[in-house]
Amino acid sequence: MVTAVEPDAVAPPDGRAGRSPVLQVVRAYVTLTKPRIIELLLVTTLPSMVLAARGMPSIGLVAATLGGGALAAGSAHAFNQVLERDIDAVMHRTRARPLATHQVSATAATVFAVVLLALSATVLLVWVNPLTAALTVAANAFYVLVYTVLLKRRTWQNIVWGGAAGCMPTLIGWAAVTGGLAWPPVLMFAIVFCWTPAHYWPLAMRFREDYARAGVPMLPVVASDVSVARQVLGYTIATVAATLALWPVGDLGLLYGAAAVLAGGWFALEATRLLTAARRGGVGERPMRVFHASITYLTVVFVALAADVLLLG
């Protein structure tokens, strides 16, 4: 259940030496879970539940689904950092991570990840339903084994196919409410699937030298800025098209439609400006503008989806 990526701190926070050893350990384990990314994952899960229920599901079901999903995502992130600790140690933006700085051992982090995944599966199996638990475990396994182990170091399309794990919360949220799947969550899956490269590649443009140093063939490492920007714009257009397709399929109203059109137009404009800057020979801070815009865009679309159902029925 991983989709979004936030820039990591490049050095330990000021004042860490003054903290108690217990607080330092707690902070290190919390950092392993990448809580800022988990927040964005939950932004796509809850609206899917609201659409499936055509209203707000029970608080107990929401808590169990989001809690189980957060545990699984934290587990996947911890597994990822165990497997990529050599990369993290040489990349500027990740060198402050707990394993790279030896705040947590690889063995301890692995045990932590296994425990989180077991807790997640238990919560979802007992308090939600078997399909939700199975989809969540599958998303975790896909992110760790397919993306991290098989794709990350081998192909520039790593984030395209590996990003499918981050699309799973849309299916998980729907399955939690209905016990099955349907076309609306499939379209929501498609939205996040198309959005992921448009979100991640601008960040990879900003940290191109980091990825090159670590030997990770992200698209900006192996292609020109113009080529990357074209891909970002293409995936942005596909993302907006998927949001518009969800409008009638999900039986949504004008609130969602207006958000999809306006936010989509703004996101496409930012991607277009990135391509224009690349063609002129200097992208400057444009990649990070697109990166941050992508997070705002996805949040706006999915919040509007939930609001449309709750306010307009």
Q: Which of 181, 203, 231 is the last residue of a domain?
A: 181
Same-domain check for residues 137 and 85? yes
pLDDT in tens, 182-239: 999 999 999 999 999 999 999 999 999 999 999 999 999 999 999 999 999 999 999 9
Same-domain check for residues 29 and 166? yes
Number of domains in the chain: 2
Percent of the chain with pLDDT over 70: 94
Same-domain check for residues 251 and 263? yes
What's residue 18's pLDDT?
54
Mean pLDDT of 99-127: 96
Q: Which of 131, 151, 181 is the last residue of a domain?
A: 181
Mean pLDDT of 118-128: 98
Res. 19 pLDDT band, cuts 50 70 90: low
Q: Which residue has the higher pLDDT, 33 or 19?
A: 33
Q: Evaluate if residue 293 carries a pLDDT over 50.
A: yes
Res. 93 pLDDT band, cuts 50 70 90: confident
Same-domain check for residues 157 and 196? no
Same-domain check for residues 20 and 165? yes
What's residue 213's pLDDT?
92
Same-domain check for residues 129 and 248? no
What's residue 2's pLDDT?
46
Same-domain check for residues 24 and 38? yes
Q: Evaluate if residue 15 carries a pLDDT over 90.
A: no
Domain that holds residue 117: 1-181
Q: Evaluate if residue 4 carries a pLDDT over 90.
A: no
Report the chain's mean pLDDT, rounded to a whole number. Answer: 92
Q: Which of 181, 205, 221 is the last residue of a domain?
A: 181
In CATH, what number is assigned to the domain containing residue 90? 1.10.357.140
Same-domain check for residues 190 and 310? yes
Same-domain check for residues 30 and 161? yes
- The predicted model scores a pTM of 0.92
Res. 7 pLDDT band, cuts 50 70 90: very low
Res. 40 pLDDT band, cuts 50 70 90: confident
Res. 290 pLDDT band, cuts 50 70 90: very high
DSSP string, the chain: ------PPPSSPPTTGGGS-HHHHHHHHHHHHT-HHHHHHHHHHHHHHHHHHHTSPPPHHHHHHHHHHHHHHHHHHHHHHHHHTHHHHHH-TTTTTSTTTTTSS-HHHHHHHHHHHHHHHHHHHHHHT-HHHHHHHHHHHHIIIIIIIIIITTT-TTHHHHHTHHHHHHHHHHHHHHHSS--HHHHHHHHHHHHHHHHHHHHHHHHTHHHHHHHT---HHHHS-HHHHHHHHHHHHHHHHHHHHHHHHHTT--HHHHHHHHHHHHHHHHHHHHHHHHHHTT--TTHHHHHHHHHHHHHHHHHHHHHHHHHHH-
Mean pLDDT of 239-262: 98
In CATH, what number is assigned to the domain containing residue 293? 1.20.120.1780
Same-domain check for residues 18 and 129? yes
Same-domain check for residues 40 and 86? yes
Same-domain check for residues 115 and 170? yes
